[in-house]
Amino acid sequence: MALANTGAALQHLTPRPVKGLFGDNYLSVADMDFTQQFLPEVYEKEVERYGKRTVGGFLRMVGAEMPMASDRIVWSEQGRLHIAYDSVSSAANGTAITLTGLPTGTDPSSLIGVGQTLVISNGTVTAKARVDSMGAYASAANNASTQIVNIKVYGEAGSALPAALRGATTSLNIFVFGSEYAKGSADVGNSFDASFTTFENKPIILRDKYNVNGSDVAQIGWVEVTTEAGTGGYLWYLKSEHESRLRFEDYLEMSMVETEKAVGAIATGVTGSEGMFEAIEDRGLVYNATDFGGANGLGQFDEILAELDKQGAIEENMMFLDRATSLGIDNMLAAQNSYGAGGTSYGVFDNSEDMALNLGFSGFRRGSYDFYKTDWKYLNDSTTRGSIGDIEGVMVPAGTSTVYDEQLGTNISRPFLHIRYRANEAEDRRMKSWITGSVGGNFTSAVDEMNVHFLSERALCVQAANNFVLLK
C-alpha cells in the first residue's frame, strides 16, 4: 500500500528503506487520524455485531482542546451586573427589609447603598422604595449573615410597605433599578465592585495498554510513503491494536463526562476531577420528569426557556438526547399544525424553509433561541448510560464565554465546554502512546511480548455552568 508525500503529518517517524520492525517507524495511536484519513482500509473490516460500537464524539462536537503547563486550572466568572436578592423578609411595620443568607463576613458597604431605589415584590404585589439608611449587620457562619436595610416606600401613606408585603418571612424578591438624590446633596460614596466566583479543576491521568506476545504479532500492515524531502520507505502498524485504541478514546470522553471530585481518601495521588454531570448538578440547571411528547410538552419546554432567560439567554444551544427524549421533542414539534405555529420555527440554518418540520430534523427555533438536536449514543448504549436511564439529555450552550484566567492574569475567551491537557516543550500528554517489550523493534525487557501503552492527562472545564441544562 503506497502513499505519496506525507507532508508534516508523520514527520516524527522515520520510514525505513526495507520492511523492518522498529520503534521509530511504527504508526501508533497518535498517528491514526492521519492513517484513517488517507488509508481508510488500513484495518481489516469485521462484522460489527453491535453497530458502531464507540460512544465518543460528544466533546469533539461541542468542545475544544488546549494545552496547559500546570496541574491546576483556575478561572473566575463574573457575577450579575445588577444587584438583586431573593429570600428577603420585611419588618412588621413595613419600614425595613432584611437580606438573609449572605456570605460570612460580607462588607455591608458592598451590598445596597443609601439613595438607591428598589423594586420589592412577592410575585403578586409590588412596591417601589428608596434606601433611607443601612441598619444592623449580623455576621454568621455557613453563609447565614443578615443585613437590615431601612426603606421609604413611594406611593404609600406613611412611606411603609403595603400590608401584603409586611412581615413576610423570606418570601420577597428585590432588585435595584436606580437611585434618587436631592438637589445639592453630597455624594454618599457608594462603590460597588462586580462580584466574581473562582472555580478550579485538576486533571486526571488515564492509562490503558494493549499486550500481544511475540508469536501472535502476525497481523502487521505496511505503508509505503514518500516524504516532502523526496526520501521514502516503509511504516508499519498493528491491525489488532485499534480495539484498545477505540476503547481508550471512549474512556477519555466518558471520564470527562462522569468523573467527580473525591471527598474522602481514594488512593495516594488520586483526587478525582469535576466532570460535566457533576458541574451541572452543582452549578447548572436540572430539569426533572420531562415528557416533551405529552400534552404539556411545549409548555414544559417553555419552562426551560424561561430559566434560560434568567441566566443570560445564550441564543444557540446544542441538545444531546437519549432516544426517547429525542422522539418526544419530534412529537412535540409535529403537534404544531403549521410552520412556525406557536412561535416555533423549524429552520435554524438561516431560518430556511428547507429545514421545515420533519421527523428527522436537525434543529428548530423557539422564541429567540436556536436549538440543534442530536441523539447521543452514550445515553442509549446498553453498556453505558443506556443501562441506567436516569439521564435523558444535556443542553450545552454554543459559542464562548469570557472569564479571568488567574494563571495568565488576563481575560480570555474560551468555549463554554473545553478540555485542558498537560503539555509543555518536553512532553505532550494529550494522547500519547509508546511501545515496550522485546517485539516490534523495541528491546526494553527480556519478555517475549509487545506492549502498546496509552496515556492522557486532562480535565474538563465547564464555564458558566448556569447556562447548561441537565434533563433527568
| Domains, in order of start, for the chain | 2-73+201-273+403-462 (no CATH), 84-193 (2.40.30), 291-391 (no CATH)
pLDDT at 234 over 80: no
Question: What is the C-alpha separation between 16 and 152, in angstroms, rounded?
Answer: 87
C-alpha cell belonging to residue 460:
474538563
C-alpha cell belonging to residue 335:
403537534
Average pLDDT of the residues in 223-236 = 71
| Closest among 207, 325, 204 to 258, alpha carbons compared | 204
Q: 64-101 pLDDT, tens per residue?
A: 788 888 888 888 877 666 778 888 889 988 899 998 87
pLDDT at 150 over 50: yes
For residue 362, report the phi and psi dihedrals to the nearest 5 degrees.
-100, -25
Average pLDDT of the residues in 212-229 = 71
Q: How confident is the model at residue 231 (pLDDT cuts 50, 70, 90)?
A: low
Q: Cα torsion for 453, 456, 457, 458, to the nearest 10°?
A: -160
Higher per-residue confidence, 137 vs 14: 137
pLDDT, mean over the chain: 78
pLDDT at 228: 62
pLDDT at 4: 45
pLDDT at 267: 87
State CA 143 to chain mean position distance: 27
Q: Give the number of other CB atoms < 10 A from CB of residue 174.
A: 22
pLDDT at 292 over 70: yes
Non-local (6+) Cβ contacts of 379 within 8 A are: 320, 321, 322, 323, 385, 386, 391, 392, 393
pLDDT at 3: 47
Q: Is 342 helix (H, G, I), strand (E, B) or coil?
A: helix
pLDDT at 358: 42
E strands in 279-368: 285-287, 316-321, 344-345, 363-366
Q: How confident is the model at residue 460 (pLDDT cuts 50, 70, 90)?
A: very high
pLDDT at 16 over 80: no
Q: 444-459 pLDDT, tens per residue?
A: 888 888 888 999 999 9
Q: Which stretches of 8-71 are DSSP H helices?
A: 32-38, 58-62
pLDDT at 279 over 90: yes
**CB 161, CB 90: distance < 8 Å:** yes
Q: How confident is the model at residue 28 (pLDDT cuts 50, 70, 90)?
A: low
Average pLDDT of the residues in 125-133 = 90
Q: 309-338 pLDDT, tens per residue?
A: 888 778 888 888 999 999 888 888 877 654
Q: How confident is the model at residue 276 (pLDDT cuts 50, 70, 90)?
A: very high
pLDDT at 153: 93
Average pLDDT of the residues in 212-238 = 71
pLDDT at 282: 92
Question: The pTM is what?
Answer: 0.73
pLDDT at 265: 77
Classify burial at 184, counting beta carbons within 10 Å of its beta carbon; exposed 0-12, middle 13-18, buried 19 or more: exposed
pLDDT at 275: 93
Separation in Å, CA 278 to CA 201, 345, 349, 405, 416: 12, 33, 32, 22, 15
